[in-house]
Amino acid sequence: MSRHSRRGPRRLTRWWRRQSLRTRLTVIAATAIAVSVFVSFQVASELMDSKLRATAEDQLHADSRILATNAEHAGLAQVQLPPYPGSGRLMRVILPDGSTRTPVGQPALPPVSEHARRVMQGGSTDLLESNDWNDGYRIYTLRAGNGAVQVADLADDTPINQFGFGMLLIGLFCVVGGALVGRTVARTGLAPIDRLTAAAVRVAHTRDLDADIPDEGGGEIRRLIQAINDMLAALRDSRRAQRLLAEDAAHELKTPLTSLRLNIELLVRLDRRGTLDSALSAESRTRLLNDLGAQVAELSTLATELTEVARGDVSDESTELLDLADVVVAAATQARSRAPDIEVALDVASVWVSGRPAALQRAVLNLIDNAGKWSPADQPVQVRLRAAGASAVLEVDDAGPGIDAADVPRVFDRFYRADSARALPGSGLGLSIVQRVVDAHSGRVTVARSARGGALLWVVLPAAAPPAPLARLTTGEDTTAR
C-alpha cells in the first residue's frame, strides 16, 4: 500500500474524531438509511427484472404455440401471417428448406441460428435464446411440422430504468429525511448531556461544589449524573478535610512557635543589653537552650507528621513482599536512636506480608513512640509479632496508665490528645497516621488494656505466602540438590 493510499483513511479518521456527537449521529443515520435504500433497490430490481422476464417468456411460449398450431393445420407455406401492426411481437416461419416467411412490414429478425436449425430438424422441441441479445431481440423457437416457428420481442429495459430512477429519487429523499431525523433525535437525546455540561461548566466557573446536578432522565444519563454528583461529594469532602487540616495545623503550630519566639526574643533582648551572662545563670541558660532544642524538635516532628497526613494515600512507594519482622526491628532501632532512654523489648517471629515497607515502618515507629511516652523508665515497651492463621498480629504494650474509656473512640482522630497527654510532647497525629497506613494495607488497629495496666495497641494485617525458596525451607524441603 502506497503512502498516498494510507493518507485517505487517516484523514477521514481525524475528520471523524473532530466532529461533534450530533454530527456523528446525523452521518450515521443518513448512512444507514442510504445503505438500506441501496440494498432494497438492488433486491427490488432483481425481483422486478426476474418477474418481467418470466412474464415475457410465458407470453412468447403462448404466442408460439398458437402460431405452431395454425401452421400445422394450414401448412407452413400457407399459414396466414397478419401484417405487422408497427409494434408488439415479431414472428417468423422457418420452412423445411431453411427459408423463412415473415409478416408484411415487419422488421428483419437476426438470421436463424444453428441452435434454431437443430430444433427445426428435430434435435429438440423448443429453444429460448434468452441470451441472444443481438439487435436487442429475445427469440423463442418451437418445432412445427417439418419446420419451426419463431416469436420474438425486444428486450426493453425501460421499466427497470424507470423503476431505478424512481428509487433514486426516493433514496435521496429518505437520506435527506434521515439526516434531519437523526439531527433531531441527536438534539433531543443529547439535551440532558447539554444541561449536564452547562451545570459542570457552572460548577467549574463558580467553584461551588455544594451545587448538585439535578437528576433527570434514565439509564446511562442517570448513572452519569450520579457519578458526577458522587465526584462532587468526594471533592467537597476533600476540601473540607483540607480546610480542617489547615485549621488544626495552624492551631497546633501556634503554641510551639509562640514559645520558641518568646525564648528567642528573650535571648536577643538580653544579648543587646549586654546582660545575658548576669541575667541568666549557666543553669538557666542550659535549661533555656534545652527548651529551644525541644521546641525545634517538636516543630520538626510536627512538620513531618503534617506532611504525612497531607499526602494521604498518595505515595510513590511500590508494594512488595516483605518480612514484617525486619520492618519491626528497623522501627525499634530507629526509636532507640531517637530516644535512647526508651527500652524496647522485642519478641518477633517471621511473618510475610504484602505492603509498602517505609509506610509500615513509620506506623510501627509511631506505635513505639506513643508507648514510650507513657511507659515508666524502668518498664520496657514490649513489641510482639506473631502469625495467627492468615494474619500477622503486631502488639505494642506499655506499662503506663492506659487510655481512658472516654478517649478510646477518638484516639485515632487527627490532632486529638487526651487531657492527660497535653503536657507531653507530640502533635496528636501519630496514631492517625497508623490508622491510615493500616487501612491502606487492608488491616485493622485496635486499642485495649494490657496485662501490665497500660495500653495495648495491636495491629492485624493480611499475611502473605513467603517467597518460594523460603517456603521450601520452612517445610523442611532440601533445596541444595536443586
The pTM (predicted TM-score) of the whole model is 0.45
pLDDT at 124 over 70: yes
Please indicate, yes or no, if residue 3 is contained in any of the structural domains. Answer: no
Helices H / strands E in the chain, number of each: 12, 12
Total Cβ atoms within 10 A of residue 187? 13
On whether both 267 and 291 belong to a single domain, the answer is yes
- Specify the pLDDT at position 404: 62
Residue-wise pLDDT for 206-225, tens only, equals: 777 776 777 666 667 778 77
- Which of 254, 280, 311 is at the close of a domain? 311
On whether both 149 and 267 belong to a single domain, the answer is no
On whether both 64 and 139 belong to a single domain, the answer is yes
- Please state the separation of Cα 394 from the chain's center in Å: 40
- Which of 311, 329, 351 is at the close of a domain? 311
Please indicate, yes or no, if residue 194 is contained in any of the structural domains. Answer: no
On whether both 135 and 226 belong to a single domain, the answer is no
- Specify the pLDDT at position 460: 93
Mean pLDDT of 120-135: 70
Please indicate, yes or no, if residue 233 is contained in any of the structural domains. Answer: yes
On whether both 430 and 376 belong to a single domain, the answer is yes
**Tally of structural domains, the chain:** 3
Please indicate, yes or no, if residue 48 is contained in any of the structural domains. Answer: yes
What order do you get walking across the sheet with 391-397 strand by strand? 344-348, 381-388, 391-397, 455-462, 444-449
Residue-wise pLDDT for 159-205, tens only, equals: 767 777 777 788 788 778 777 877 777 777 667 777 777 777 877 77
Please indicate, yes or no, if residue 378 is contained in any of the structural domains. Answer: yes
Mean pLDDT of 80-109: 87
11 phi/psi in degrees, rounded to 5: -65, -40
The most confident of 26-30, 103-107, 175-179, 368-372, by mean pLDDT: 103-107
Instruction: Please report, for the domain that includes residue 249, its CATH number.
Output: 1.10.287
On whether both 328 and 305 belong to a single domain, the answer is no
- Specify the pLDDT at position 418: 47
On whether both 108 and 240 belong to a single domain, the answer is no
Q: What percentage of the chain exceeds 90 in pLDDT?
A: 7
On whether both 57 and 94 belong to a single domain, the answer is yes
Question: Is the Cβ–Cβ distance between 255 and 299 less than 8 Å?
Answer: no
On whether both 183 and 47 belong to a single domain, the answer is yes
Domain enclosing residue 242, as ranges? 210-311
- Please state the separation of Cα 289 from the chain's center in Å: 60
pLDDT at 461 over 60: yes
- Residue of 46 and 350 predicted with greater confidence: 350
On whether both 170 and 253 belong to a single domain, the answer is no
How far lies 218's CA from each of 30, 191, 232, 337, 414, in Å? 27, 13, 20, 62, 41
Instruction: Please report, for the domain that includes residue 367, its CATH number.
Output: 3.30.565.10
Of the given ranges (25-29, 61-65, 84-88, 467-471), which has the lowest mean pLDDT?
Answer: 467-471
Please indicate, yes or no, if residue 324 is contained in any of the structural domains. Answer: yes
Please indicate, yes or no, if residue 202 is contained in any of the structural domains. Answer: no
Residue-wise pLDDT for 246-284, tens only, equals: 666 665 566 667 777 887 887 788 778 777 677 777 777
Question: Is the Cβ–Cβ distance between 225 and 213 less than 8 Å?
Answer: yes
Whole-angstrom distance, CA of residue 418 vs CA of residue 186: 62
Nearest to 147 by CA among 110, 108, 93, 103: 93
On whether both 151 and 275 belong to a single domain, the answer is no
Q: Output the average pLDDT for the chain.
A: 77
- Which of 293, 311, 329 is at the close of a domain? 311
On whether both 36 and 89 belong to a single domain, the answer is yes
Mean pLDDT of 433-448: 86
How far lies 455's CA from each of 48, 396, 407, in Å? 95, 8, 12
- In 62-215, the DSSP E strands lie at 90-94, 100-101, 126-129, 137-144, 147-154
Please indicate, yes or no, if residue 456 is contained in any of the structural domains. Answer: yes
